[in-house]
Structure 1
Amino acid sequence: MMWKAFVLFVVSLYRSRGLIVQLTARDFKTRYLGSYLGLLWAFVQPVVTIAIFWFVFEVGFKSAPVGDFPFILWLICGMIPWFFFADTLSMASNSIVENSHLVKKVVFRVSMLPLIKLLSALLIHVFFVAMIFAFFSAYGYAPTWCSLQVFYYSVCLCVLLVGLSWLSAALMVFLKDLGQMIAIGLQFGFWLTPIFWSLEMIPEGYRFYLKLNPFFYIVQGYRDSFIHHVWFWQHPVYTVYYWAVTLVVFVSGALVFTRLRPHFADVL
Structure 2
Amino acid sequence: MDVYADLLRYRELFSSLVRRDLRAKYKGSVLGLAWTLALPVALMLVYLVVFSVLWKAQATALPDYWLFLLCGLPPWAFFASSLQTSARSLVENAPLIRKVRFPRQLVPLSVVATQLVAFGVMTVIVLVLALWFRPESRDTAWLALPIAVAIVVFVAGLSLAAAALNAVFRDVEFVVAAALLPWFFLTPVLYQLQDLPGAESRPWLVDLIHWGNPLTPAIESYRTPLYAGELPGAANVIYLCVAALVALALGAYVFTSVDDRIASEA
TM-score higher than 0.5 here? yes
| Residue 59 (structure 1) shift | 4.2
Q: What is the CA–CA distance in structure 1 between the aligned matches of 2:73 and 2:59, rounded to whole Å?
A: 17
Q: Match for residue 3 of structure 2?
A: 9
Q: Match for residue 261 of structure 1?
A: 259
Q: Could you state the TM-score of these two structures normalised by the residue count of structure 2?
A: 0.88
Q: Match for residue 93 of structure 2?
A: 99
Does structure 2 retain, via aligned residues, the 8 Å contact 1:97–1:173?
Answer: yes
| Residue 132 (structure 1) shift | 1.2
Q: Could you state the TM-score of these two structures normalised by the residue count of structure 1?
A: 0.88
14, 22, 28: which one aligns with 2:16: 22
169, 172, 196: which one aligns with 1:178: 172
Q: Match for residue 158 of structure 1?
A: 152
RMSD: 2.2
Does structure 2 retain, via aligned residues, the 8 Å contact 1:163–1:251?
Answer: yes
1:136 maps to amino acid: A
C-alpha distance 211-9 of structure 1, shift in aligned 2 (>3 A): same
Q: Match for residue 243 of structure 1?
A: 241
Deviations 1:52-110 (A, max 9, x none): 12233334445567685211011111122111110011111111011001210112221
C-alpha distance 223-45 of structure 1, shift in aligned 2 (>3 A): closer
C-alpha distance 138-242 of structure 1, shift in aligned 2 (>3 A): closer
Indicate whether 1:84 and 2:78 are aligned: yes
Indicate whether 1:187 and 2:154 are aligned: no
Secondary structure of the residue aligned to 1:145 is coil
Secondary structure of the residue aligned to 2:166 is helix
2:122 maps to amino acid: F
Aligned length: 260
Indicate whether 1:144 and 2:143 are aligned: no
Moved more, 53-62 or 141-150: 53-62
Q: What is the CA–CA distance in structure 2 between the aligned matches of 1:93 and 1:114, rounded to whole Å?
A: 7
Secondary structure of the residue aligned to 1:9 is helix
Unaligned stretches of 5+ residues in structure 1: 1-6
Deviations 1:182-202 (A, max 9, x none): 012111211111110221123
Does structure 1 retain, via aligned residues, the 8 Å contact 2:136–2:228?
Answer: no
Q: What is the CA–CA distance in structure 1 between the aligned matches of 2:61 and 2:149, rounded to whole Å?
A: 27
Moved more, 18-27 or 58-67: 58-67
Q: Match for residue 32 of structure 1?
A: 26
Does structure 2 retain, via aligned residues, the 8 Å contact 1:102–1:108?
Answer: no
Does structure 2 retain, via aligned residues, the 8 Å contact 1:149–1:225?
Answer: yes
Q: Percent identity?
A: 27
| Residue 39 (structure 1) shift | 4.1
